[in-house]
């Protein structure tokens, strides 16, 4: 399938002889020719599709120029919307014009953002960073243009009779203005704007207090017994003959102690320190932030901030999200008790104390002990079965099959890195070209650290009726190949691969007419669900056997017991893992549901109590919320993690109950038609039910995680 395979070793600049590792690094090139963009043009004609690739800026000057031009052009377009000739307001010159403008701005921003995260040239990354900042600051003011609002309002006052996607775009555009406060009388609107500015300043301070918060704890080697060499030997940790300094605010160091250090007092000391970071500085700011959020929400006509934030999501209001989380919490109770009992047995055996109880500083340690003793998991063994090329080919072949697609290698007219790949996606049956994706595979200096899908050109219907097909980029950080080994992925990375490519499918297979609804522009508590669903594929032996094989002996498939072991280990402590997640989600919802100016002084105590009630009791006088970064960026939205997970498990049943399981073509077709194609052009709850062929249910998720249903 790989039309042209490049020698990755040579490109990585490693002067190893490729001849010695021919088998692992450079298999013979298949004879298939690489296509160009132009080769796809004739096939796109009958479908009236527009195919083009982004024109990347290659100098800092070009980035600055694009930035300025984007702002000038967008301001001019908004001026145009703001002064339609009297009595001539139409859908096209107001609502649609705004969507057109948003698409142009998004395209420039997407490109510059990708340059910022992937360019091999530090000057370009710096210029792009500046440009993104400038564009973001400028974009904030766009919603508040009164001339534009007046024109849109004049159109709304004509009481337009719209249907389908146009009606949804109209309603949501008006909703945005209402949420921004534009529909309020001037004095109240000014008040909201003032509160927002204040909120933004306090939130920035909250974040910077988190970034600045530090604490170091000193221990002896004996106190740290059990800690891995990766901690004890890390730079800056061993500071004296028998003195080790653990940085509480450095997550991996704190985790290493919590998971491995035998001494309970040490774990306790660390947890207390960690849950007290930024306590003094951020306690008053949390009270201030919650008060401001509540004030803004009420001025805009909502009961509280949770209702305001969730109005635009699937959950719709705070109450629904809280009930969902509580149902999950209760369902997990028996399994959590069973897990804690196992931990307790281990603790009694280890300490000899028959009354030993599991505290919040214990669970990670005993979960790790359980993994080591009962499940004996060595997930590293699996790497040998996942050479990168094989994993990619395997996933490509599954996605092509279930979604009815054809992926073809395309010559990229411009490459920001030598080993960049470009692929074209077409409908396998009709031959319709649907979009393109770039594949930027290995880590390098200055590159984005995770694995993510970056949109570049969004799908959108043009004024002339043609359809602009999407282009995205997958930015990955696979383990690079070495002189004697190909790039070998661990099982987690294979899961991530299936997940992130799911986002690419969501973006590329869109049919939504407006950029606002296209691809992954769906509510945030849904956007992860289709990709989370696809994670189930990599836990299925049949799926894995379709591509995974030992790179040294491709006749060898994954031994079934290893997969079972990893799966069992994963679910063995899942209730604890999940109840901890729920403790964050509920804390976040409850604060944004209950705290007002009157009771703001109780905010931190309420946060700590909610966490203690949902997971394990937090030590007295700690204030975990003060160091919880998601409080500022994910406010009243943390529940989305569990919410989407539940939908993902529900959606997976469509495949699981189909004749061909995870390979089922009819289920894949349904996924394309009901989920990927519509995007947000209709209510996603409706799309999910159409895909399921029944109302949604939380049961498959409860079953998957071993929770009890009622």
Binding site for Zn ion (CB under 5 A): 528, 531
Determine contact, residues 451/502, Cβ cutoff 8 Å: no
Closest CB to Zn ion among residues 433, 640: 640
Give the Å distances, CA to CA, from 527 to 141, 301, 653, 675, 686.
Answer: 26, 27, 18, 11, 15
Question: Treating both helix axes as pointing N-terminal to C-terminal, what angle do 122-140 and 60-82 enclose, rounded to 10 degrees?
Answer: 20
Of residues 408 and 528, the one with the C-beta less far from Zn ion? 528
CB of 439 to Zn ion, least distance (A): 17
What is the Cα 146 distance to its own chain's centre? 34
Q: Cβ closer to Zn ion: 528 or 635?
A: 528
Which distant-in-sequence residues (6+ apart) come within 8 Å of 436 by Cβ? 51, 53, 410, 422, 423, 424, 425, 469, 470, 471, 472, 508
Q: Which is nearer to Zn ion, 531 or 583 (CB)?
A: 531
Of 389 and 495, CB closest to Zn ion: 495
CB of 522 to Zn ion, least distance (A): 12
Q: Tell the smallest beta-carbon distance from residue 527 to Zn ion (Å).
A: 7
Query: Would you call 460 helix, strand, or coil by DSSP?
Result: strand
- Block residue for tokens 């993690």: 641
Q: Please report where in the chains the tokens 């290995």 appear, as a residue.
A: 442
Least distance CB 532 / Zn ion (angstroms): 7
CA–CA distance, 332 with 257 (Å, rounded to integer)? 27
Q: Which residues contact 197 (CB under 8 A, 6 or more apart)?
A: none
Q: Which of 107, 287, 408, 500 is catalytic?
A: 500
CA–CA dist 282, 276 (Å, integer): 10
User: If you ran DSSP here, which 8-state letter would residue 358 be given?
Assistant: -
At closest approach, how far in Å is the CB of 74 from Zn ion? 29
Give the E-state strand segments of 300-366 in sequence order.
none
Is 357 or 450 the residue whose CB approaches Zn ion more closely? 450
User: Alpha carbon 95 to chain centroid distance?
Assistant: 29
CA distance 605 to 280: 14
Is 500 annotated in the active site?
Answer: yes
Which CB, 237 or 688, lies closer to Zn ion?
688
- Which is nearest to 305 in space by CA: 636, 604, 633, 585? 636
Return the structure tokens found at 84: 């339609």
Q: Are 556 and 549 in contact (CB under 8 A)?
A: yes
Question: What whole-number distance in Å separates Cα of residue 302 and Cα of residue 258?
Answer: 42
Please report how close the Cβ of residue 667 comes to Zn ion at its closest, in angstroms.
21
**Distance of closest approach, residue 529 Cβ to Zn ion, in angstroms:** 10
Question: Could you list the active site residues?
Answer: 500
């Amino acid at each position: 399938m790989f039309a042209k395979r490049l020698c990755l070793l040579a490109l990585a600049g490693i002067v190893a002889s490729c001849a010695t590792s021919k088998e692992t690094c450079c298999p013979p090139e298949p004879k298939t020719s690489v296509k160009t963009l132009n080769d796809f043009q004739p096939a796109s004609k009958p479908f009236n599709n527009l195919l083009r690739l982004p024109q990347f800026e290659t100098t800092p000057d070009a980035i600055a120029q694009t930035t300025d031009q984007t702002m000038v052009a967008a301001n001019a377009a908004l001026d145009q919307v703001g002064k339609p000739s009297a009595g001539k307001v139409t859908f096209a010159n107001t609502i649609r014009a705004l969507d057109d403008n948003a698409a142009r701005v998004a395209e420039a921003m997407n490109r510059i953002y990708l340059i910022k995260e992937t360019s091999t040239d530090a000057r370009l990354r710096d210029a792009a960073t500046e440009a993104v900042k400038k564009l973001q600051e400028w974009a904030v003011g766009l919603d508040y243009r009164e001339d534009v609002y007046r024109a849109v309002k004049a159109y709304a006052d004509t009481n337009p009779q719209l249907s389908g996607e146009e009606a949804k775009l109209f309603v949501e555009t008006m909703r945005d203005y209402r949420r921004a406060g534009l529909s309020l009388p001037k004095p109240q609107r000014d008040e909201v704007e003032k509160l927002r500015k204040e909120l933004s300043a306090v939130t920035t301070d909250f974040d910077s207090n988190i970034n600045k918060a530090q604490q170091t704890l000193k221990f002896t080697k004996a106190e740290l017994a059990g800690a891995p060499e990766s901690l004890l030997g890390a730079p800056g940790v061993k500071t004296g003959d028998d003195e080790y300094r653990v940085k509480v605010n450095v997550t991996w160091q704190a985790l290493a102690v919590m998971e491995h250090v035998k001494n309970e007092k040490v774990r306790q000391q660390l947890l207390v320190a960690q849950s007290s970071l930024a306590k003094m500085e951020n306690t008053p700011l949390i009270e201030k932030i919650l008060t401001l959020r509540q004030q803004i929400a009420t001025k805009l006509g909502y009961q509280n901030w949770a209702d305001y934030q969730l109005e635009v999501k699937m959950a719709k209001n705070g109450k629904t999200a809280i009930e969902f989380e509580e149902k999950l919490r209760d369902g997990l109770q028996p399994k959590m008790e069973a897990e804690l009992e196992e931990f307790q047995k281990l603790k009694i055996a280890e300490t000899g104390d028959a009354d030993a109880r599991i505290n919040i500083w214990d669970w990670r340690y005993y979960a790790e002990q359980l993994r080591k003793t009962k499940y004996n998991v060595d997930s590293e063994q699996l790497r040998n079965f996942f050479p990168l090329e094989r994993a990619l080919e395997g996933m490509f072949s599954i996605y092509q099959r279930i979604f009815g697609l054809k992926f073809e290698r395309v010559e990229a007219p411009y490459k920001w890195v030598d080993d960049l790949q470009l692929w074209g996606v077409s409908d396998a049956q009709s031959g319709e070209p649907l979009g393109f994706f770039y594949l930027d595979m290995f880590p390098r200096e200055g590159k984005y650290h995770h694995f993510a899908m970056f949109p570049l050109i969004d799908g959108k219907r043009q004024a002339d009726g043609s359809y602009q097909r999407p282009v995205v980029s997958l930015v990955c950080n696979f383990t690079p190949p070495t002189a004697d080994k190909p790039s070998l992925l661990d099982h987690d990375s294979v899961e991530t691969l299936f997940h992130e490519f799911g986002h690419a499918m969501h973006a590329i297979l869109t049919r939504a007419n407006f950029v606002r609804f296209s691809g992954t522009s769906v509510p945030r508590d849904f956007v992860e669900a289709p990709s989370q669903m696809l994670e189930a594929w990599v836990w299925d032996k049949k799926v894995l056997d379709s591509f995974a094989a030992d790179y040294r002996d491709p006749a060898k498939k994954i031994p079934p017991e290893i997969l079972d072991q990893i799966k069992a280990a994963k679910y063995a402590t899942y209730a604890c893992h999940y109840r901890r997640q729920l403790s964050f989600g509920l804390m976040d919802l409850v604060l944004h549901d209950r705290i007002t100016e009157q009771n703001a002084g109780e905010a931190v105590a309420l946060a700590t109590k909610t966490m203690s009630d949902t997971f394990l009791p937090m030590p007295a006088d700690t204030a975990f919320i003060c160091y919880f970064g998601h409080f500022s960026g994910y406010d009243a939205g943390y529940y989305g993690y569990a919410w989407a997970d539940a939908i993902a498990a529900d959606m997976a049943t469509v495949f699981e109950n189909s004749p061909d399981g995870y390979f089922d073509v009819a289920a894949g077709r349904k996924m394309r038609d009901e989920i990927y194609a519509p995007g947000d052009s209709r209510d996603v709850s409706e799309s999910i039910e159409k895909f399921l062929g029944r109302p949604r249910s939380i049961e498959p998720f409860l079953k998957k995680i071993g929770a009890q249903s009622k």
